[in-house]
């Protein structure tokens, strides 16, 4: 039920959806075998006033769809609420860093090199004499951009390739699976060291592209498995028997029912991609100045860590909180979408 | 459900003398089980009474969620806890109340004196151990048998339940057996230490119809041979007819009707039982529309007030919505008692005698 | 079982070729090795051409790759630009990294599985919540941050452990780096173990084991753990790759002269033979580990074996 999908992979709770679900927690839906096209949000809001079903049906507990159930679960989960608020805050920081800081991260004064926190500069200065607070605030953008776009990229590529492999099977499956194995066979940090040192430009997009190239097999495996499971379900056989074509089967029946594990893995991967970007930058093959990135700053601060720990601890703290927020979100989503663990 | 219920259900032959020889093997009195979930407390079993004698077969009949499996899990002591809790009642087995025993004492009874057969043998057998290991485990743990002897015993058991080429197959894994053979292995496992009571939870539901009959027959044979008490839990009226001595019909955590097996088929005394019987397809009703009980089983978090069946009952009156019917002793129209019959319906007379 | 092994081996051939070829091609794109050989001096064009001819650099990439692979199977990984055989360099570097990985792996297995079992068996209790919060935090801190912080605390401030690893890398000096290297994986192992245990606790065959009257200990060890650890072992195997990658980071923090150190130097100096040799060996180890895990999986789960 795609229109009931409660949360987007980037973790922004959809307010309209919240309203709807909370207003009608017991709203009857048409279940997994719904007549297509009928399941519009507008329909749902009306259905309680339309007791067209027999009385006996009206008074029973109506089974909710997986997505509604998951959304209900999420709203009650404090971890989801905390991580959601954190992520919204981080996204605002990433988009509008100037709201939080008046100085520029590139405006540095060597005379203040490595000075500790003072008034107006709560995080102190780094070796170049740049304001650490400003650099921490502006560093959010790189991390979150890499995390979100790398996740979208791997999820898209992985779902398409893994989905095709699972749906068609046979030689297509064999080829895609082997290609996935090939990229899976390259340990990601090792690959980063080699691949990224080849490429002179180190824009955010190069790092995103690298993560997508080495990260998609993980999602493809999940998607392939989920599609194979979904394909064997009776309702897919039924739809096929009723003459549904391949594309219709895939988009209408199989995709919505395979999305849950993909979303779960992708959300958790988001946090690890942010960590990966920082590690690559630390190794000197990730982002490069003038991009402001926590990884670069931590790397630069590492040599003088014993003398001026504040230079490392503030960006590292920001980095950890960001990763923590996304991993917590992933955890909450998994708990909500994986009924086995409930 | 009060004392009178106990009197009707528990003692099939109340007239007989209650010497120890004749005391039931298992007697469940006013058993209460609830599940404490995040959505609230689900009352899965609400005061159930029944008894089983050695050599006797009691069938517990009901839809899923009626509490039939939960009550037997409580008897075995394998209730998932939390969330499941036994909140009241007694389970008297061979003269002692199991609920008063320690966990260790209960464990020693499981497998040796009472055993259970589960519905889905594929998932109920451990996929990573050979069937020989799993059968032999009974002897090794409870009897301290050596590995070698346990295997010999396992082969004997497999032969006993009719598995061909037992010697070769003892080293195979559950997924290498057919559904019927797997269920035979489950039966063999339950039978291993010759328990006094076997609880079979839908033992044939997952099987093909032809295999169903074979497995039921095997179970009945073994029961006679060892003079075991058997509790047969099922939702299938057809399975019960040939094997059971008496039937208890459960609905929403209560026993709504209890009767000797042929009595029940002949003239049900509860509208729910009648609905179940009417929904069996029959050849002599060819061409007529098949009856179906309307609606769905109640949500155990919100059991309807009064008689739990009232929203679905064709005979429901005002009293059914307000008062919980006790298990009335069912009599002939002239008031003569019928042995072992009870019905928890305000209108049992109308139901049985028209 | 035999057919399964053969199928897996056959499937590995294209994967092996593909992975090593990609690495080979990427390293060759690093830059002109001949130019790197001469450092800052501009090479004499004639000499450069001669060297190219000697090294076979004028051949198409695929031919160079073929020749290189032939070399690998005869134990020849080429010579570095300083004239040292790459195998020699590997012999000095690899034992150190191997030791580090063994220490890390031990932490991962013992602590990871141990914490996961405790957590999974006491779901919802204090110990469980504690383990979950702890692992969540550890996962959120990148290895290099954990590394610097622990190095500072243990090595500098409290002086309990060596802040940097001395030449020869004795095991005692590798405990702290090994723990740092294991930290994130350890947290994943603990969480995975907890999940599979929690899942299997509700499995029908565990209920059967209880109904058989087995003592709790036996239910847990023979049925619950035996089945729950199968996915954990799979994860441990594939995680070897992550450990080796992570070793690059850990070795840098603690100044350990292992594979990561030489690889890093090789990349900085564009020393193609070193980089190709080291990376290829690491990838082969990773692929072999994956294969072993696959086979182990079949041993542990009979359902795979007979599929």
DSSP state of C157: I
Residue A294 pLDDT grade (very low, low, confident, very high; cuts 50, 70, 90): confident
- Evaluated on CA atoms C247, C249, C250, C255, the torsion sign reads positive
* B chain contacts of residue C216, beta-carbon cutoff 8 Å: 107
The Cβ of residue C277 has, within 10 Å, a number of other Cβ atoms equal to 28
Whole-angstrom distance between the N-terminal and C-terminal Cα of chain B? 25
* A64-73, A309-318, B52-61, C90-99: the lowest-pLDDT one: A64-73
Which of the four pLDDT bands, split at 50, 70 and 90, describes residue A116? low
Direct distance between the N- and C-terminal alpha carbons of chain A, in angstroms, rounded to an integer: 21
Residues B85-110: pLDDT tens digits?
Answer: 889 888 999 888 988 888 899 899 99
Q: How many angstroms separate the CA atoms of B198 and C211, rounded?
A: 11
Q: How far apart, in whole angstroms, are the C-alpha atoms of residue B140 and residue B132?
A: 12
**Angle between helix C272-300 and helix A188-198 axes, rounded to 10 deg:** 150
The mean pLDDT value of chain C amounts to: 82
Is pLDDT of A230 > 60? yes
Q: Between these two residues, A120 and C98, which has the higher pLDDT value?
A: C98
Interval B239-287: pLDDT, tens:
787 788 899 999 988 999 999 988 888 888 888 888 888 887 777 766 7
CA distances from C51 to A293, C55, C266 (A): 42, 6, 20
Residue with structure tokens 């039924």?
A238
Per-residue confidence (pLDDT) for residue A56, from 0 to 100: 37
Percentage, residues of chain C above pLDDT 90:
13
Residue B36, pLDDT score: 87
pLDDT at A267: 84
Task: Tell me which residues of chain C, numbers 188 to 207, contact chain A at a CB-CB cutoff of 8 Å.
Answer: 195, 198-199
Tell me which H or E stretch contains C211.
helix C204-211
- List the single best residue of A90, A175, A182 to mutate versus C (max C Cβ within 10 A): A182
Mean pLDDT of chain B: 84
**Mean pLDDT value of segment C209-234:** 89
How much of chain B exceeds pLDDT 90, in percent? 20
DSSP structural state of residue A252: I
- A60–B312: do the CB atoms touch at under 8 Å? no
Of C30, B3, C140, C38, the residue nearest A285 (C-alpha):
C30
Question: Which of these, A207, A70, A227, lies nearest to A158 by C-alpha position?
Answer: A227
pLDDT at position C68, please? 81
Give C224-275 pLDDT, tens digit per residue.
988 888 888 888 887 877 787 788 888 888 888 888 888 888 887 777 778 8
Q: What is the pLDDT of residue A11?
A: 33
CB spacing of C152 vs A197 below 8 angstroms = no
Minimal C-alpha gap between C164 and chain B (Å): 46
Query: b/e per residue, A218-234, with b = 16+ CB within 10 A?
Result: bbbbbbbebbbebbeee
Say whether residue C70 is in contact with chain B using an 8 A CB cutoff: no
CA distances to A162, B260, C3 from C7, rounded to whole Å, are 21, 60, 6
- ipTM associated with this complex: 0.83
Give the containing element (helix H, strand E) for B26: strand B26-37
Give just the sign of the alpha carbon dihedral A62, A68, A71, A73. Answer: positive
- Beta carbons of B175 and C306 less than 8 Å apart: yes
pLDDT digit string, tens, across residues A308-328: 777 788 888 888 999 889 888
The least confident of A120-129, B170-179, C201-210 is: A120-129
B289 or A47, higher pLDDT: B289
| Cα gap A311→A133, rounded to integer Å | 10
C306 touching B (Cβ < 8 Å): yes
Cβ-Cβ contacts under 8 Å, A188 against chain C: 241-242, 245
What pLDDT does A150 receive? 94
Q: Residue A64: which pLDDT band, with cuts at 50, 70 and 90? A: low
Name the token pair of C223. Answer: 């049925």
Contact B299 A60 (CB under 8 A): yes
Q: What are the pLDDT digits (tens) for B145-195? A: 899 999 999 999 899 888 888 889 999 999 899 888 898 899 899 988 889
Reported as a single tens digit per residue, the pLDDT across C64-84 is 888 888 887 777 777 777 777
Sign of torsion over alpha carbons A155, A158, A163, A166: negative
| Exposed/middle/buried for residue B132 (C-beta within 10 Å: 0-12, 13-18, 19+) | buried
Tell me: pLDDT of A132 over 60.
yes
- Is pLDDT at A245 greater than 50 in this prediction? yes
Those residues with Cβ within 8 angstroms of residue A195's Cβ, 6 or more apart along the chain or in another chain: A210, A213, A214, C26
Nearest alpha carbon to residue A259 among A158, A153, A340, A332: A158
* Separation CA A180–CA B327 (nearest Å): 65
Give CA angle at A190 (A328, C75), nearest 5°.
Answer: 145
Sheet of B26-37, strands arranged across: B40-52, B26-37, B84-93, B96-97
* Least confident residue range of A89-93, A228-232, B5-9, C210-214: B5-9
Q: How far is CA A97 from CA A93, A133, A141, A320, C22, in A?
A: 5, 11, 8, 18, 40
Q: Do A189 and C249 lie within an 8 Å CB cutoff? A: yes
Residue of A nearest to C184 (CA): A272
**Cβ B28 vs Cβ B254: under 8 Å:** no
Strand partners, A125: A131
Burial class (CB within 10 angstroms; exposed 0-12, middle 13-18, buried 19+) of C299: exposed
Mean pLDDT of C196-216: 89
A242 has a pLDDT exceeding 90 = no
Q: If pLDDT is split at 50, 70 and 90, which confidence band does B291 have?
A: confident
Under the banding of pLDDT at 50, 70 and 90, the label for residue A113 is low
- Give the chain B residue whose CA is nearest to the CA of A54: B295
- What pLDDT sits at residue C306? 60
Instruction: Pick C138 or C270 by higher pLDDT.
Output: C138
* pLDDT given for residue C116 in this prediction: 92
Higher-pLDDT residue of B21, C284: C284
Q: How many CB atoms lie within 10 A of CB A103?
A: 17
Angle between the N-to-C axes of helices A255-282 and C126-140, in degrees from 0 to 180, rounded to the nearest 10: 60
Please give the pLDDT value at position A231.
Answer: 79
Of B25, B24, B7, B73, residue with least CA distance to B45: B73
pLDDT value for C105? 92
Residue A261: CB atoms within 10 A of its CB come to 17
Q: Does B37 touch chain C (CB under 8 A)?
A: no
Q: What is the DSSP string of C13-28?
A: HHHHHHHHHHHHHHHH
CA of A184: which chain C residue's CA is closest? C19
Chain A positions touching C145 (Cβ under 8 A) are: 298, 312, 316, 319-320
Q: In what order do the strands lie in the sheet with B328-331?
A: B114-117, B197-201, B229-234, B57-61, B246-251, B254-260, B337-343, B328-331
C260 touches C247 (CB < 8 A)? yes
Around A311, how many Cα atoms within 13 Å sit in the side-chain half-sphere? 23
| CB neighbour burial string for B136-152, b if at least 16 within 10 angstroms, e if fewer | bbbbbbbeebeeeebbb
Distance CA A335, CA C25 (A): 42
Count CB-CB contacts under 10 A for residue C114. 15
Residue C305 has what pLDDT? 67
Q: Of all residues in chain A, what percent carry a pLDDT higher than 70?
A: 72
The pLDDT of residue A62 is 52
d(CA B338, CA B24): 20
């Amino acid at each position: 039920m795609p229109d009931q999908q409660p949360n987007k992979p980037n973790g922004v709770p959809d307010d309209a959806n919240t309203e709807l679900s909370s207003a009608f927690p017991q709203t009857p839906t048409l279940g997994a075998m719904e007549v297509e096209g009928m399941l519009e949000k507008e329909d749902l809001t009306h259905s309680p006033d339309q007791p067209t079903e027999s009385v006996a049906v009206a008074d029973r507990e109506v089974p909710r769809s997986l997505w509604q159930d998951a959304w209900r679960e999420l709203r009650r989960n404090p971890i989801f609420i905390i991580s959601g608020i954190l992520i919204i805050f981080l996204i605002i920081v990433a988009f509008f860093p100037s709201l939080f800081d008046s100085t520029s991260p590139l405006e540095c004064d060597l005379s203040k090199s490595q000075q500790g926190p003072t008034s107006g500069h709560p995080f102190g200065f780094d070796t170049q004499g740049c304001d650490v607070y400003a650099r921490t605030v502006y560093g959010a953008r790189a991390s979150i951009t890499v995390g979100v776009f790398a996740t979208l990229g791997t999820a898209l590529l992985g779902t398409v390739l893994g989905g095709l492999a699972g749906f068609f099977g046979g030689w297509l499956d064999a080829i895609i699976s082997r290609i996935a194995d090939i990229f899976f066979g390259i340990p990601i940090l090792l690959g980063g060291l080699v691949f990224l040192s080849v490429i002179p430009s180190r824009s955010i997009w190069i790092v995103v592209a690298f993560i997508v190239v080495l990260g998609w097999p993980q999602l493809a495996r999940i998607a392939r498995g989920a599609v194979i499971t979904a394909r064997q379900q009776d309702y897919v056989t039924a739809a096929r028997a009723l003459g549904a074509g391949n594309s219709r089967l895939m988009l209408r029946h199989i995709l919505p029912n395979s999305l849950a594990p993909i979303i779960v893995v992708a959300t958790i991967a988001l946090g690890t991609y942010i960590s990966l970007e920082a590690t690559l930058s630390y190794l000197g093959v990730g982002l490069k100045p003038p991009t402001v990135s926590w990884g670069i700053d931590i790397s630069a601060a590492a040599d003088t860590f014993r003398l001026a720990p504040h230079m490392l601890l503030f960006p590292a703290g920001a980095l950890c909180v960001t990763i923590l927020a996304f991993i917590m979100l992933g955890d909450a989503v998994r708990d909500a979408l994986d009924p086995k663990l409930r | 459900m009060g004392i009178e219920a106990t009197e009707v259900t528990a003692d099939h032959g109340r007239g007989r003398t209650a010497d120890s020889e004749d005391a039931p093997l298992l007697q469940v009195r006013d058993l209460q089980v609830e599940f404490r979930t995040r959505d609230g407390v689900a009352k899965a079993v609400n005061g159930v009474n029944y008894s089983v004698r050695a050599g006797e077969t009691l069938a517990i009949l009901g839809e899923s969620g009626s509490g039939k499996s939960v009550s037997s899990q409580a008897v075995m002591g394998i209730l998932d806890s939390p969330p499941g809790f036994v909140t009241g009642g007694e389970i008297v087995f061979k003269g002692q109340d199991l609920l008063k025993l320690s966990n260790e004492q209960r464990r020693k009874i499981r497998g040796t004196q009472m055993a259970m057969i589960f519905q889905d043998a594929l998932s109920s057998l451990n996929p990573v151990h050979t069937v020989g290991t799993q059968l032999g485990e009974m002897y090794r743990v409870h009897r301290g048998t050596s590995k070698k002897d346990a295997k010999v015993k396992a082969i004997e058991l497999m032969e006993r339940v009719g598995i061909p080429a037992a010697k070769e197959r003892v080293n195979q894994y559950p997924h290498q057996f057919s559904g019927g053979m797997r269920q035979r292995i489950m039966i063999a496992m339950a039978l291993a230490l010759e328990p006094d009571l076997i609880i079979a939870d839908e033992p044939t539901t997952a099987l093909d119809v032809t295999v169903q009959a074979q497995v039921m027959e095997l179970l009945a044979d073994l029961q006679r041979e060892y003079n075991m008490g058997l509790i047969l839990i099922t939702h299938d009226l057809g399975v019960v007819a040939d094997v059971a001595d008496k039937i208890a019909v459960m609905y929403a955590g209560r026993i709504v009707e209890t009767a000797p097996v042929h009595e029940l088929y002949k003239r049900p005394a509860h509208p729910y039982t009648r609905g179940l019987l009417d929904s069996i397809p029959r050849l002599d009703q060819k061409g007529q529309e098949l009856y179906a009980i309307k609606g769905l089983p109640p949500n155990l978090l919100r059991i309807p007030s009064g008689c739990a069946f009232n929203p679905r009952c064709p005979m429901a009156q005002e009293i059914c919505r307000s008062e919980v019917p006790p298990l009335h002793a069912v009599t002939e129209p002239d008031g003569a008692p019928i042995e072992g019959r009870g019905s928890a319906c305000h209108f049992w007379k109308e139901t049985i005698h028209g | 079982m035999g057919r399964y092994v053969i199928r897996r081996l056959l499937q590995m051939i294209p994967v092996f070729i593909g992975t090593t070829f990609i690495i080979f091609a990427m390293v060759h794109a690093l830059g002109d090795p001949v130019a790197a050989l001469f450092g800052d001096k501009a090479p004499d064009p004639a000499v450069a051409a001669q060297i190219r001819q000697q090294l076979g650099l004028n051949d198409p990439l695929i031919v160079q790759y073929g020749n290189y692979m032939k070399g690998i199977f005869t134990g020849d990984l080429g010579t570095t630009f300083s004239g040292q055989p790459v195998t020699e360099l590997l012999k000095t570097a690899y034992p150190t990294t191997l030791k580090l990985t063994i220490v890390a792996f031990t932490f991962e297995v013992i602590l990871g599985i141990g914490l996961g079992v405790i957590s999974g068996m006491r779901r919802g209790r204090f110990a469980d919540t504690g383990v979950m919060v702890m692992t969540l935090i550890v996962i959120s801190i990148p290895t290099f941050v954990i590394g610097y912080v622990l190095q500072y605390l243990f090595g500098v401030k409290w002086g309990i452990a060596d802040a940097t690893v001395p030449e020869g890398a004795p095991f005692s000096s590798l405990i702290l780096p090994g723990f740092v290297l294991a930290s994130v994986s350890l947290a994943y192992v603990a969480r995975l173990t907890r999940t599979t245990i929690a899942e299997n606790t509700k499995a029908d065959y565990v209920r059967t084991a209880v109904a058989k009257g087995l003592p709790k200990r036996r239910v847990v060890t023979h049925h619950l753990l035996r089945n729950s650890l199968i996915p954990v072992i799979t994860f441990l195997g594939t995680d070897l790759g992550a450990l080796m990658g992570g070793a690059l980071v850990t070795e840098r923090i603690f100044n350990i002269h292992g594979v990561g150190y030489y690889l890093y130097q090789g990349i900085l100096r564009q020393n193609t033979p070193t980089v190709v040799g080291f990376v290829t060996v690491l990838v082969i180890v990773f692929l072999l580990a994956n294969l072993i895990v696959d086979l182990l999986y079949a041993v542990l789960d009979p359902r795979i074996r007979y599929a």
